[in-house]
């Protein structure tokens, strides 16, 4: 079994995902065979990963964060990197994915009772992920300080104690109160859990790091833990795909550019990193529009992203008045793209006769494409190679969706995926939908698409930019953390 180290946070969104990715890349640069692991993740940003030993065409779902961490390691992602994935569908319930496959649905209270059964799958994947590796870097979820959930925990100390993995605690100084959060975690943890923590690091520091020297001495006084370093604000992290939609709440509108792309922030938005390649373009401004705000009138393109709850998000779309804004956008000659759930919303109607998404079994669509969708239990999960019909250029991406879409506008497909027509295009060519995520990552397609909107691409190699960002994060961690000590700590 490989040696391992685990990063847990004093809270959610403290930057664990990027830190694990950076440490994975740093370990790889040292010649180590390194793998990422996250026992339990909660995210609607999913990726398609291999299912080892499964000969079926397709794949399984994992959190997009572990997909990014696998890239940092230079290996293909597998479902064992994230054996339990929760995909929220309502405020109190989520779809449960186990080792890549849909396991069922559970309300929050019911899921707590289910965790005991899921630990077996977590430990099975843990064994598999360590085979042939020198080092596994584990990412926790939320915080070990949630002691009310400790009894059935599989994500933090429940896993660390079962697998005997030493823990480094991550505190986020940007949100304030970092001394109290680290010391408070030490105070409330049971002794057995406290013994698993070998030390801590501070993340997201802005300014002169030496100003925190007294803070380090204070934390040592309260906890006795060593500090592995203070990490500055990592600018390169902004060029990496984000896992959690909480990041969208903090996005500020940038400088005005040649093309404004408006993206409604759906309640159950999924795989919004589809927009990252457009955000990287120097002439493109991507604006995520929060609930309660109007679609900007100066947008040249509206992209309706994926959704974990198409019907529920359609109803919210109308509540926010975005449907009226979309009609006005079209009258001004604006373009519209719908991806996955966004494609389904663009049709005339969405039906869910089996109540897969909830109690509402049918709702009117936005009517910009002459298609209709019927939700079906069978989920499509696969990586795909495709070709843009309009531009005749190669595409590469993945599909994760429920539902079958049919209708006259599908006689004008937007793409051909694995030899089969996909998506639909409006008669005037200004609206199109597709089930394929990742289409804007194709550099040649993105350049031609922007050109059709009157914008010149910056000639960006998007995947190379992600690799460079990972290298920059790793270099920063090597500078500001005692990586030698961290890797020696692994057992």
Structure tokens at 207: 């300014």
Q: Which of 80, 329, 401, 437 is catalytic?
A: 437
Cβ burial 401-418 (10 Å sphere, 16+ → b, else e): bbbebeeebbebbbbbbe
Quick check: 428 and 452 in contact, CB under 8 A?
no
CB 139 within 8 A of CB 47: no
Q: In the structure encoding, which two tokens stand for residue 438, read together?
A: 């990742």
Q: How is residue 332 written in tokens?
A: 């001004």
Beta bridge partners of 63: 46
Known active-site residue 340: yes
Token pair, residue 130, equals 């360590």
Catalytic residue, from 80, 340, 401, 483: name it: 340
Rounded Cα distance, 341 and 319, in Å: 18
Helix (H, G, I), strand (E, B) or coil at 87: strand
Query: Is 463 exposed, middle or buried, given 0-12, 13-18 or 19+ CB atoms closer than 10 A?
Result: middle
Q: Is 437 an active-site residue? A: yes
How do 415-417 and 380-388 pair as beta strands?
A: antiparallel
445's tokens: 């397609």
Whether 205 contacts 178, CB under 8 Å: no
Q: Tell me how long the chain is.
A: 491
Active site members: 340, 437
């Amino acid at each position: 079994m490989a040696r391992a180290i685990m990063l847990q946070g004093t809270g959610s969104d403290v930057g664990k995902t990027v830190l694990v990715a950076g440490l994975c890349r740093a370990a790889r640069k040292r010649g180590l065979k390194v793998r990422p692991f996250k026992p339990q993740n909660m995210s609607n940003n999913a990726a398609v990963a291999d299912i080892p030993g499964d000969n079926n065409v397709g794949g399984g779902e994992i959190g997009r964060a572990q997909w990014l961490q696998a890239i940092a390691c230079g290996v293909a992602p597998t479902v064992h990197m994230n054996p339990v994935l929760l995909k929220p569908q309502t405020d109190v319930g989520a779809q449960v994915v186990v080792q890549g496959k849909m396991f069922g649905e559970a309300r929050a209270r019911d899921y707590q009772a289910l965790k005991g059964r899921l630990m077996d799958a977590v430990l099975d994947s843990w064994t598999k992920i360590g085979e042939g590796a020198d080092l596994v870097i584990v990412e926790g979820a939320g915080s070990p300080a949630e002691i009310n959930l400790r009894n059935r925990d599989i994500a933090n100390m429940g896993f660390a104690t079962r697998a005997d993995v030493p823990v480094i605690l991550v505190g986020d100084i940007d949100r304030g109160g970092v001394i109290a959060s680290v010391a408070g975690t030490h105070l409330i943890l049971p002794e057995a859990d406290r013994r698993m923590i070998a030390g801590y690091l501070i993340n997201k520091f802005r300014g002169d790091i030496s100003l925190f020297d007294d803070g380090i001495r204070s934390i040592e006084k309260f906890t006795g833990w060593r500090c592995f370093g203070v990490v500055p604000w990592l600018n390169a992290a902004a060029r990496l795909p984000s896992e959690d939609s909480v990041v969208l709440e903090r996005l500020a509108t940038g400088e005005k550019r040649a093309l404004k792309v408006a993206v409604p922030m759906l309640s159950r938005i999924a795989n919004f990193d589809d927009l990252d390649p457009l955000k990287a373009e120097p002439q493109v401004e991507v604006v995520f529009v929060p609930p309660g705000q109007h679609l900007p009138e100066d947008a040249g393109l509206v992209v309706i992203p994926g959704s974990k709850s198409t019907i529920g998000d359609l109803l919210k779309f109308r509540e926010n008045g975005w449907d009226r804004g979309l009609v006005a956008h079209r009258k001004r000659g604006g373009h519209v793209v719908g991806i996955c759930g966004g494609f389904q919303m663009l049709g005339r109607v969405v039906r869910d006769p089996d109540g897969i998404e909830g109690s509402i079994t049918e709702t009117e669509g936005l009517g910009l494409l002459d298609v209709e969708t019927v939700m079906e239990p069978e989920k499509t999960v696969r990586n795909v190679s495709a070709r843009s019909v309009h531009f005749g250029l190669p595409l590469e991406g993945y599909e994760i969706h429920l539902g079958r879409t049919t209708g006259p506008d599908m006689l004008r497909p937007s793409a051909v995926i694995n030899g089969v027509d996909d998506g639909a295009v409006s008669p005037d060519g200004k609206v199109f939908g597709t089930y394929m995520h990742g289409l804007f990552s194709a550099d040649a397609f993105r350049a031609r698409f922007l050109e059709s909107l009157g914008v010149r691409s910056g000639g960006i190699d998007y995947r190379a930019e992600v690799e460079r960002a990972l290298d920059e994060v790793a270099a920063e961690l090597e500078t500001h953390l005692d990586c030698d000590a961290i890797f020696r700590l692994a057992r």
